Structure 1
Amino acid sequence: MTASLDAHRAAFDAALAETLADGRARAVATGPESTELWDAAVECLGGGKMLRPRILLSAAEGLTGSRGLAECVRAAAVRIAVALELLHFAFLLHDDVIDGDLSRRGGPNLIGVLRARSGGMSPRGRSDGASSVPPAARLHWARSAAILVGDLMLSTAHGLLGRLDLPASARERILDLVAESTAHTVAGENLDVLLADGLHETGILGILEMEFLKTGSYSIALPLRLAAVLAGRTDLDDALVAAGRRLGTAYQLQDDLLSTFGDPAAHGKDALSDLREGKQTVLIALARRTPHWERISARFGAADLDAADAATIRAALEAGGARDEVERMIAEAIEDARRLLRAADLPAEARDVLDALIAALTDRSS
């Protein structure tokens, strides 16, 4: 899977740079504030794993078999890969606003960067002699700006897709799939917030569905389905949806474990964020059934949760068997995906690509 992105890396980087340069030109036309905001966003865009572009480009090449993609289709695939990365960045920006997070990818996220930089700002046009901006106002602006940049990234991604040099039927199919997956993400994020805020209750199956909608749909299933369109193999859509759903479930369950038990230096996220926000994950749903829940619930979701509280919760999650059960569910989901893909009419090249994807997911640490 890595080799395919590496093979396209120069074209991907060039297409991304061209897209970001176009965005900057539009920002420059509207003033220095917009330009500074765009530049800060571009700084924060880097450093990701490029998971979605990797899956798309690898799967598209693999699904064509030995003939490979036509050059014009390969160029379109690279632009779709850029659009997927911008879509992902938009979702992360909005998610950070919703969760109140200030870090991402091992450093400050866009909100954290903007808040820090605004510390040296002086109010413009003030007549009351104020010489500094209050911290609450700086944070409000940083969060608001992140929402606006996310909107711009969504618009930019859809602009790329709408101008793809592909037959109209393929371009419309691609736009439909992205629209469907975006709707999934919004629905999943909404359910996530409803659950965390205590406005909705559901069981483990409901949480699994929420997590697939929020992350698995656009992260795993969408790139696979788009690859099938590019390869002219839409006959594989049902099989890729089914396998993508199971792999997406495994991916999100792994995220839950990494957020709670993983090394923040490796996964780049706030080690306390999910526990402090009271995220209703499968891990937590399983823990509610155990005698250890009382130890967890005492501080789970507390705004002032600290490292000692988190250590107590992690110990209780392990003692009650919740961590082991999630690991079993991940293994089961991955095996289900393998079975579904073995039953599909896939070229040998595609099997190699998807086997590599499964291996990468199995060994995740970030």
Structure 2
Amino acid sequence: MNKTYLALLLAMTFGLTACGSSSSDDTPVETPDEVTDGSGGSDDGSSDGGNEEATIYGPYSTGSTSAPVAVYFDLDTQTQLTLTDEEAATDTAWDIGFKRTNVFLNTHQDTPVSFYFTGNNSDFYDDTGAPVSDLFLNATADSELDDYLAVTESDIPEAEAFSTDTETQVIGDTFYNYDFTTHVVTPNEETYYIVFSDSNYTKFHVTDIVTEGRGIGEITLGVMHQSVLDGQTTFAEEVTLTVDAVGCSDAVYVDFDMQQVVTQTDGWDLSIPCADGAGEFALTIADDATALRTDAQTYNGVDTEAAQYYGFSEETVSEYAMSTNNWYFYDSTSHLLYSQFGVYLIQAGDTTYKFQITSYYDEEGTSGAYSFRADPLSGE
């Protein structure tokens, strides 16, 4: 398993209780990585890309947890672009964007912007893949400058080593396995989903599927409910819920609070579309629900105060390339995010850039304010 992903899992497991907030009434916190020379307001950057190597750009504010905003940056001109989210959805000038803890790439260019992690800081993790906290907490933009400067054009890998952002479904087709040789469908019992709906949390997985023609005749869920409204802080024991879709003429609906099949007019949480008298191989959450794909061990319950940091999302989500080697470490004592000072390569058009996040905080300690280095390594 990827080491940085392990660090993120550990952060989630320890309970993220206070990181990430930058509202006007935030309590000031110590800034873990001080911004060095070359930093400043959001107007920083050279219009001709001629700044000295390792210049730090930022801090650029991405708003608060309750009111996040996206920052769009053009690596070619080394400037922030003022765009609405609607404009950015079709704009081809920006290369990399930031929104709270997420860092994302522009996939709307002729060739989508892509990403590669150099693995420069493997010593930040021990032999088991666990983060070495002291290394993260003591690292600074100055102490990790040499790592950044050491990356040159010779470190650019083949094109297939780069990856880009994609869109996917939280549940999608991940709840079953299909054998292309035998054409047998089996449940993917190892994958779990946590759904937040009607102020409560429900963790479930699919334990059995009986096919009906090319569809689902019967599907069995293992459901673990956490009624926040009743004061529960952990998931209850697993309950078996079997849903019959044979002969259906409309979608079948499930209410997790009641743990039973209901009608469309009831407060349903999960639905199975219907076609040709059987369920389709799709599970859909309610429009006002959010979900998280996980495993059996990671969560015994959801900490409601930290839930906003777990990664709950709408049904269709963006898979960010950087999330496979995420940029931060969460310290459960200070509740701060510390950059791992990873050096990433970003291909945008004909140019490959190196990139390193130096801080997530401004000089007042307000979170969501990115500072970073970015320099071209090759290109026209």
TM over 0.5: no
TM-score by length of 2: 0.23
Tell me which structure has the larger Cα radius of gyration.
2
The structure with the greater share of residues assigned to strand is 2
Instruction: Name the one with the larger helix percent.
Output: 1
TM-score by length of structure 1 reads 0.23
